[in-house]
Structure formats: C-alpha cells, structure tokens
A and B are shown apart, each in its own frame.
Chain A
Amino acid sequence: MILVTVAMQCEAKPFIRHLGLKKVHDINVFPVYANERWKLIVSGVGKIRSAAAATFLLTRDLGNSHGFVLNAGVCGSGDTKTPAGTPILINKITDHDTGRSYFPDMVWAHPFAEGSLETWSRVLKVIGSSHQIDHLVDMEASGFFEAASRFLTPDRIAVIKVISDHFDSSRVTAGEVSMLIERCLPPVAGWVESISGSTFGKRPVFRRSEEQYMLKVSNNLRLTCTMVLELKSLARYHKLSGGNLEDLLAPYISMEPVSRKEGKIRFAHIRKKVVNP
C-alpha cells in the first residue's frame, strides 16, 4: 500500500483526480481517500497535525514492511532561480524549532531535483537580514518524518515538495496550488509506484505449506516456545542448504500428539538429522 499525507485539501485534489481515489466514509478523524493501492490523508497545516495523520494511517494500514509513505505538497523556496512548479525530492529535513535533522535514504534513482527543506512552525513571509534561507521551507515534513520513521525504514519514506512561491505565499491561491501539483503528479506517482513494490530479492524462505507443516509438528511434539524457535531455525538451515523440509518433518506430521518428554526426544532426532545429515 502507498500512503500519502498532504496538508491541505487543495494539495489532495490532484491526487484524488489523477489516481481516482474515493472518500473513505467510515473514517472521520481526518479526510481520507483511497483506491486498492493508494491511500491519502489530509492532515491539516503544521508538523504536529502531519505527524498525527501519518501515525493514524501507518497504524491502521501498514500491513507489511513493503509499505511506502509519501509526504507531498507545496513549499516556499529562497532560491529564485528555481521556478514555481518545480518538484523537489527532499534529501534532508531540518526542524527549525529543534534544529534536529532527518534524512530519507536516497537509494532510489529518480528524475527530480533534490534539495534540503526546513520545517517552520509559522508561515515565513519575508526573509529579514537575520535569516539565511537559500533552500526550501514548509510546515509539515519534520513532524511527518519523525512519525513515519517509527514505522518504516528510511528508504520507504519520501518527501516531495513542489515549489509554490519564493516566500510570498499570500499571493498563491488554492487553485494555483492544485494546478502546480497536478502538473507534477504523473512523474511523482509513476516513480512511487515503481519503487514501492520492489522487494530486492527478499523472498520468504518458507512456503505457506511449510509454515503449516512446522506448526503441526510443533503441536504434535508439544514443543515449548524456545523449541519452536529452534525448530524454525533448524528448518531454515535445512532448507537453505538444499534439504527437503517436508521429508524431514514427514514422520512427525500424521502422528498423534505425544507427551512432552517424548516430544523432546523426537525433537532431538530432528536436530541430529539436520546437524549431521
């Protein structure tokens, strides 16, 4: 599942349209929109709201470690050379209040410009002489990242911001925000789709039937929790070194459950067969 957090409804609109998301009516804590593959939440403005929304979604919907979460939206930029409408993949987020920095893992190839972002707790309008900001500014990313990194590895978390203004956000209308995001959405959505499903050769070692086999044997031999773990570990080694797991466990499958003492003896046989084949 790909989870997306945005701060404002005008940032959500392009996603809803582009991905064909439908409102999830049984959630009323935050506005949530979804299809089979994507789920989007509108957090409201600010890092605490963003953290709360990310936590809400990740707690409910993170079924497996292949999940991916994206914080998208607009940001201000101090760099006038980069025009409004440019999507930036964020490689460093600094919380202006705490000074703490967060780093998404930059392992995925991508077609975007990269930049560092500072999360402020208030709208930054005019840069006085005391502020040296030559990068990007938003109001959510640090809270989002702090929350998301509790659940996912930093390669499964991304922040993409579209430049909306150069610290002159009062001039940008909601309609313009939607339009800026809409234009960047095809490459952003395509990129997230392409990397979110990647498992990099990490396939489970056991088939479902083998898991069931081990469970049945554990029950039949009345193994303790520690012994169950050892059985799994022995079974893993046996399989990885080319042995047939079903052959190894077959004698203990269709038997009647035995006493603990008897189970221990039979378990020792299994261990011996694996260690000294």
Chain B
Amino acid sequence: MPISEKRLLTPKFSHIYIEETVLEHPVSSSIIRHFPDSNIITIRHYKDVFNRRKQNFHLQKRSPKLILATAKPPFLYRGAEVCENFGHGSFHCTSSILNCLFDCEYCYLPGRYTSANLVIFVNIEDILSHVQHLLRISSLYLCVSYDTDLLALDRLTSFLARWLEFAAVNPDLLLEIRTKSGNTASILTRPPLDNCILAWTLSPDQVIKKYEKKTPSLDTRLRTISKLMEHGWKIRLCFDPILRTPSWKKDYINCIHYTLSMLPARSIRDVSLGCFRMGKDYLKRARIIRPDSDLLWYPFKLENGVYTYPECTRREMLNTVSREISRFLPREKIYCMGDFT
C-alpha cells in the first residue's frame, strides 16, 4: 500500500469492539492490554458489527478492527467437502477466531464473511468443555485453525497453549493446526504430542510474494519447521492450494526440492496436496472483492458446486507435484485432495 494511502487509514486494531458480556473476561482483558491506545466500543452482539450490510472488505483488510465476542453453540461443524479428512470419519472444525491477519488471494474467507474485521471468541473454555463432552462419546479429528491462522494470532490470544494442554490430557482427540506462521513460542515450551498435527502450508516464493500477502517467506516457514523438528515434532507439509501460474511446474518442482532436501524425511509426518478449489458462492463474492485478481478470474470449471481447474489440468498438476515428492518420501505419506494417478 502506498505510504500516502496508509496515512489516510487508522492503524490495525485501532478500535476494539467488545460484547458487554465479555468485558470482564480474562482473555478480553489480556487482549485489550496489548492495545492501550485503542478505542474500546461496547456492543451487544458481535454480529451487529461483523454482519453489517454492504461492508468494504477490501478497505477493512487494510485497517482491520478487533471484535471480542462469546462463541455460542454449535461450537463444532463438520469439515467441508473441499477439505482433506485424511481418512478420519469424525472430521470436525472449530473456529475460535473468524478471519485472518494474512491476506492470501486464494482465501475463501472474503467469500464466507462480509467483513474483514477479526472476531475472537474469548470463551475458549466453553469450546474446550464441549469437545471434552464429545470425546466421552467418540474420538475426534478436529481442525482448530480453519477460518483463521491461529498461530499468527497466538501472541494475542494464547489459544494454542490451551489447545495443546487440552490435547495432552485427551488422547482420543486428534488435533490439526494448519498455519503459515513463523511464531512457535507456545509450541517450543512443551514436549511434542503424537495427537497434535502441526501442518505448514508451503508454496514457491513466487506464489508467496504474489498471492500470499503478509505471510512469512518460504525460508522463514522452513526455518520454523526445522526448529520444531529438532524439538521432536513430526510436521505435516501442505502444498495446497497448488496454483496454475505460468511457471507453476518449474516453481513447484524447485520448491519441493528445496523443501525436502532441507527437512529430514523422518520428521515429516505426511504431505497433503490439493489444487485451488472454492465453493461457487464464495468465488463469486471473492471475485467482486478482487476484480483485479488473475488468480480468481481464471476460467475455472464448476464441478458439484465447486470451482476448480479442469480435471486434466488438475491431474497434470497433482501428478507432477506428487512425482517430485515421491523422490524423497514414500507414496503412503502423500495425501491428495482429488484426482491423482
């Protein structure tokens, strides 16, 4: 953003909207302490601000505000069809934060929410006790970083530590935390957990620079992963979404070589692959918000309500990428969303 434009805007989190009922909540107080200069505005319900009609997502993304709220049941929802479930029947997601600090052009969040402001549901204890209750009935595969990047916001919320503590005493829970962040502070202070999958999304630097704005570089992500591997964690790598850029083949092959020659194979839990895909309505809205995105305006094919590359294109991309990965890792470690031969 040009400096002159930046000067016109209030800084990130200059205003914190907070539901009256969580004014005294310890997580609220701790978050507010990070922003002594912010204006605090009390609200009755987070949707009064978050769900206003006709919001300018584009502008809000440049000057996002925080909304502190109470999560209400249902706290969990079934994983979407477009997400890999790694063969687990009971695959669920939960969102203790809506929206993200990063700005990936392929993200579905602008299609899902009308606002770019961040909602943090401070009553994490209610979500945890609900999960505890469900675990009495059956085991659970739970993704806790789907509508956000939990790690990127962990300095503010410390939610990750809560989830890790919880997973440590609940072996029937399989937790997945997907991220692009370089922030590992709360992970490195505790021993690795078998039932917690830390998953890093990796992309070629060319893709990161053009389409994953505000995210750490590939090197930063790899350094972070290495640090955790040294600490004993087995990490899931996600090349997802793979994007069809003009130089995609060269870029992804280089990126895979670079990544897998740097990270020890024994510390890689598995690799997940998937081509770009987005629900029909989400893509429609995302395109309105980004009328100048060559990525989103690609002439995708609509298949079962999901826009993605044509089947032969997808197969070519996934086969190319998985072939390269299989030079370093056994095939059983490669999970693939969709077509793959």
Interface range, A side: 35 or more
Are the C-beta atoms of A107 and B60 separated by less than 8 Å? yes
Contacts of B43 in A (CB 8 A): 92, 101, 103
**How far is A236 from B296 in the complex, measured between Cα atoms in Å?**
10
- CB pair B297–A105 under 8 Å, yes or no, is no
Decide if B39 touches A149 in the complex (CB within 8 Å).
Answer: no
User: A78-109 vs B: 1/0 string, CB under 8 Å?
Assistant: 00000000000001100000000101011111
- CB of B39 within 8 A of CB of A198, answer no
The majority secondary structure among interface residues of chain B is: loop
- Whether the pair A101, B54 counts as a contact (CB closer than 8 A) is no
A114–B294 CA distance with the chains assembled, in angstroms = 40
Contact between chains at B52 and A101 (CB < 8 Å): no
Report A-chain residues with C-beta under 8 Å of the C-beta of B14.
Answer: 106
List of B residues within 8 angstroms of A202 by Cβ: 58, 291-292
> How distant is B119 from chain A, measured CB to nearest CB, in Å?
14
B37 contacts the other chain (Cβ, under 8 Å)? no
| A209 close to chain B: CB less than 8 A | no
Flag the segment in B5-13, B77-85, B260-268 that touches A: B5-13
Residues of chain A with a CB closer than 8 A to B48's CB: 101, 103
- Interface set, chain A 225-277, CB cutoff 8 A to B: 233-234, 236-237, 240-241, 271, 274-275
Does residue A152 face the partner (Cβ distance < 8 Å to B)? yes
A154–B294 CB distance below 8 A: no
Instruction: Please report the C-alpha to C-alpha distance between residue A155 and residue B291 in the assembled complex, in whole angstroms.
Output: 19
Which B residues are in CB contact (< 8 Å) with A153? Answer: 54-56, 59
Chain A residue numbers with a CB within 8 Å of B56 are 105, 107, 153-156
- B299 contacts A237, CB within 8 Å? yes
Judge whether B298 is part of the interface by a CB distance below 8 angstroms: yes
A200 to B9, CA, bound (A): 10
Chain A residues lying within 8 Å of B231, measured Cβ to Cβ, are: none
With A106-B39, A107-B9, A233-B299 as contacts: A240 and B292 at CB distance below 8 Å:
yes
The verdict on B269 contacting chain A, using a C-beta distance below 8 Å, is no
Chain B residues bordering chain A, tally (CB within 8 A): 35
List the B residue with the shortest CB-CB distance to A109: B10
A234 touches B299 (CB 8 A): yes
CB contact list, A107-148 vs B, under 8 A: 107-110, 114, 116
CB proximity of B117 to chain A, nearest CB, Å? 9
A194 at the binding interface (Cβ < 8 Å): yes
Contact mask B50-84 → A, CB, 8 Å, 1/0? 00111110111011010000000000000000000
Residues on A with C-beta less than 8 A from B294 are 237, 240-241
Which residue of A has the minimal Cβ distance to B43?
A101
Residue B293, interface by CB 8 Å = yes
- Residues facing A in B251-285 (CB within 8 A) are none
Q: Say if the beta carbon of B41 comes within 8 Å of chain A.
A: yes
A205 at the interface (CB under 8 A from B): yes
- Say yes or no: A109 contacts B49, CB within 8 Å: no
On whether A201 and B298 interact (CB within 8 A), knowing A91-B41, A106-B14, A107-B59, the answer reads no
In the complex, B15 has a CB within 8 A of chain A:
yes
Could you say which of B7, B52, B65, B299 contacts A109, with CB atoms under 8 Å apart?
B7
Contact of A205 among B7, B53, B291 (CB under 8 A): B291
Roughly how many angstroms separate A149 CA and B53 CA in the complex, as a whole number?
8
Asked if A233 and B297 make an inter-chain contact with CB atoms under 8 angstroms apart, the answer reads yes
Expressed in whole angstroms, the minimum distance between the Cβ of A100 and any Cβ of chain B is 8
**Cβ-neighbour of B9 out of A108, A152, A154, A237 (below 8 A):** A108
10 nearest A-B pairs in the assembled complex, by CB-CB distance: A240-B294, A153-B56, A107-B63, A237-B297, A241-B294, A106-B15, A155-B56, A153-B54, A236-B297, A103-B49
Residues of chain B at the chain A interface (Cβ within 8 Å): 1-2, 5, 7-10, 14-15, 17, 39, 41, 43-44, 48-49, 52-56, 58-60, 62-63, 65, 246, 291-294, 297-299
A residues engaging B (CB < 8 A)?
A: 91-92, 101, 103, 105-110, 114, 116, 149-150, 152-156, 194-195, 198, 200-203, 205, 233-234, 236-237, 240-241, 271, 274-275
28 A-B residue pairs with CB within 8 Å:
A91-B15, A101-B43, A103-B41, A103-B43, A103-B48, A103-B49, A105-B60, A106-B14, A106-B15, A106-B39, A107-B59, A108-B8, A109-B9, A114-B39, A116-B41, A154-B55, A194-B8, A198-B8, A201-B5, A203-B292, A205-B291, A236-B297, A237-B297, A237-B298, A237-B299, A240-B292, A241-B246, A271-B299
